[in-house]
A and B are shown apart, each in its own frame.
Chain A
Amino acid sequence: MKNRPINNLFIFLVFIFLYLPIIVLVVYSFNSSSMNILFENFTFKWYEEIFNNKELIESFLNTLMVAGISTVVSTILGTMAAYGLYKYNFPFKNLLNSLIYIPIVIPEIVLGISLLSIYTLMRLELGLHTIIISHIAFSIPFVIVSVRSALTRETITYEEAAKDLGASNFKIFKDIIIPIILPGIVSGATLAFTLSLDDVVISYFTAGPGSNTLPLYIYSMIKTGITPDVNALTTIMLLIVFIILTTIAIIQTRKIRKEAI
C-alpha cells in the first residue's frame, strides 16, 4: 500500500470510530440539559453533581477496588505461574498448560455462569469478594501469556551463570528473572487492570445484591436514561488515563534519549 493521503484518512477514520462514543460522552458532560439529546448550554454542573450522587461514587470506588485488588493478585500469581511453568517439569504439565487458556477462549458468559454455579455450590454469598475472585480468575491467564513472552532462552543462560556462581533460587528470581521479565509483568498488569475496568459480563453474574460496581450501576439506569454525571465521571477517568499515558510516554522518550547519548 502506498503512502497516499487516502490511506492516512482510513487510519484516521478507524480511530474516529473507536473514539466516537467517548467523544460524544465527553461533549455531553458539559451540556446543561439532562437528556443527552440536544446540546443546550455549556455547564460544569454535572461535575459538581457527581459528589451528590452517593451511589455513583460508591460504585466507582468499588470498581477501582475490584480492579486494583484483582490486578495485584493476578499479577503476582500469574508471574509466579509463568516462571514455574517455564522452569520446572512435573506430571500433567502439558494438560495444565492447555487448561490455563480456557478462560481466554471460552465465551465470557460461560465463565460467568460457571463461576456463579460454583459459588452457589460452595454456598459462598455473592458480593464484591466474588466479583474480585472472578476477575482474578479471568486475569491470571492473560498475565501468564504476557510474562511468558518475556521469558526467552537468554533467561536460561543468565540463570545458569548465576547458579554456577552460587546464587540461591530466591536471589536468582529476585535479581535476575524479575528485571528481565519486568516489561512482561507490566504489560500483564496493565492488561489485567484494563480488562477488569472494561468487564460487564462476568461482574453481572457474580455480583450480589448491594455490591454495586460501575457497569452494574449503569446497567440499572440504561433503560430509564443515564444522567450526565456519569458522562462527567467518564470524562474525569479519561483525563486521568491520558495524563498517566503521556507521563509514561515522556519518561520513555527521555530514557531512550539518555541511552542514545
Chain B
Amino acid sequence: MKKKDFGFKTIFILPIVIYTLVLIVLPIIYVLFLSFCTSDSYGGINYQFTIDNYINIFDITYIKMFVKSALIALVTTFICLLISYPFALILRRKSESVKNLATKLIMVPFLTNSLIRTYGWIILLRKNGVINNVLTGAGLIEFPLNLMYNKVGIIIGMVYTLLPFMLLPVCSAVFELDKNVIEAAKDLGAKPLQIFKNIILPQTISGAFNGSLMVFIPSIGYFFIADILGGGKTMIIGNLIKNQFLTARNWPFGSAISIFLIIITFALVKVYKRLGGKIEDLGGL
C-alpha cells in the first residue's frame, strides 16, 4: 500500500477505533469490574473482590421484581406485534407514496421528547382525565376507571413509546413479501390464517424478532414510564438500577444488575441471528 493511501486509511479507521474503545468497550469493562467490587456505607467503592453482588441478585425480592419487569416487557412486546402485523399487511397494498408518508408519520412524534408525550398520557389517563371524562360523559361508565398509577398505565405508556420500533421493522419485512406466493396460496384455497401461519410469519420472522428486541430490551429499562404512569408503585429493573446509582449509591450492585441485563441482551441477539436476522438491520429505523 502506498504511503498516502495508508494515511487516508488511518483517518477513516482510527477515530472509530478510538470511539469503540473509549465509549463502548472501556465503560462496559469498567462496569464489569465495578460489579465485583464492594461498596462502603458512604456510597464509595472499595476495590475488594467479591461475588456477593451477583448472589444478591437472586434474592427473592429482586427475583419477583425481575419477573414483574419481564412480564410487563413481554406483554408490551406482544401488544406491539398484534398492532404491527395488521398495520403492515394493510399498508402493503397501498401505493408507494402512501407507504412513504405513513412510515414518516410514525417517526414524527419522536421529535417531541418522549417525556413530554408521557406527560400527555397523564392528561389523558388520570381519574379526572380526558378519557374518563369522555367515557362518563357518554354514560358508558359510571365511575372513572383506574387507567394509571398501576400496571395498565405502565403498559399503555410502554406500548405507546416503543410501538414505532416494532412498526418499522415489521413493515419493512412485510413490504418485501412476494405478492405472487400469497396469490398462489389463495388460488390453491388457503385460508387467511393458514397463509399467515405458513407463508407470512416464516418469511417475516426476523423482522418481527428485530422489532421485539427493540421493544423488549428498552422496556426493561424505561424507569421514567414506570415512575410517571405507574405512580412509583411498580418497580421495574430500570428503577432498581437507577436507584442503585443515584439514591442508594451502591454502584457495584447496580453494575452487577447491568451486566446481568447485558448478558440477557446478548443471548437474545444470538437467538435473533439464529432466526436469520442480520445484526446491521437492528438499527435500521
Contacts and interface: CB of A to CB of B under 8 A. Distances in A.
A219 interface: yes
Contact of A21 (B26, B124, B265): B124
Interface residues of A, number: 88
Contact residues on B (Cβ < 8 Å of other chain), bracket? 35 or more
A105 B15 contact: no
Contact of B12 (A1, A83, A133): A83
Interface stretch (A41-49, A84-92, A154-162): A84-92
Interface in A196-231: 197-201, 204-205, 214-215, 218-219, 222, 226, 230
Contact of A110 (B30, B163, B221, B228): B221
A230 B224 contact: no
B24 A218 contact: no
A20 B16 contact: no
Nearest to A191: B285
A1 B30 contact: no
Interface string B87-107: 101111100000000101111
B121 interface: yes
A109 B26 CA distance: 16
Contact of A24 (B114, B115, B124): B124
Contacts of A105: 213, 217, 265-266, 269, 282
A135 to B, nearest CB: 11
A189 interface: no
B224 A3 contact: no
A30 interface: no
Contacts of A21: 117-121, 123-124, 160
B173 to A, nearest CB: 15
Q: Is the interface of B mostly helix, strand, loop or mixed?
A: helix
Given A107-B220, A116-B245, A149-B284, A20 B120 contact: yes
B241 interface: yes
Given A101-B279, A140-B19, A109 B221 contact: yes
B89 A1 contact: yes
B180 interface: no
A114 B26 CA distance: 9
Nearest to A37: B128
Contacts of B83: 14
Contact of A28 (B28, B105, B123, B167): B123
A contact patch SS: helix
B19 A145 contact: no
Given A11-B91, A81-B12, A109 B241 contact: yes
Interface string A231-259: 00010011001100100000000000000
A191 B10 CA distance: 27
21 contacts: A11-B90, A20-B120, A21-B118, A25-B123, A28-B123, A96-B20, A99-B24, A107-B218, A108-B222, A110-B221, A117-B34, A140-B16, A145-B283, A148-B280, A197-B110, A197-B113, A198-B110, A218-B116, A219-B224, A237-B111, A238-B111
Interface of A: 1, 3, 7-8, 10-11, 14-15, 17-22, 24-25, 28, 36-37, 63, 77, 80-81, 83-85, 87-88, 90, 96, 98-111, 113-118, 121, 133, 136-137, 140-142, 144-146, 148-149, 168-170, 191, 194-195, 197-201, 204-205, 214-215, 218-219, 222, 226, 230, 234, 237-238, 241-242, 245
Interface of B: 4-5, 8-9, 11-13, 15-17, 19-20, 22-28, 30-31, 34, 83, 86-87, 89-93, 102, 104-124, 128-130, 160, 163-164, 167, 213, 217-218, 220-224, 228, 238, 241-242, 245-246, 251, 254-255, 258, 261-262, 265-266, 269, 279-280, 282-285
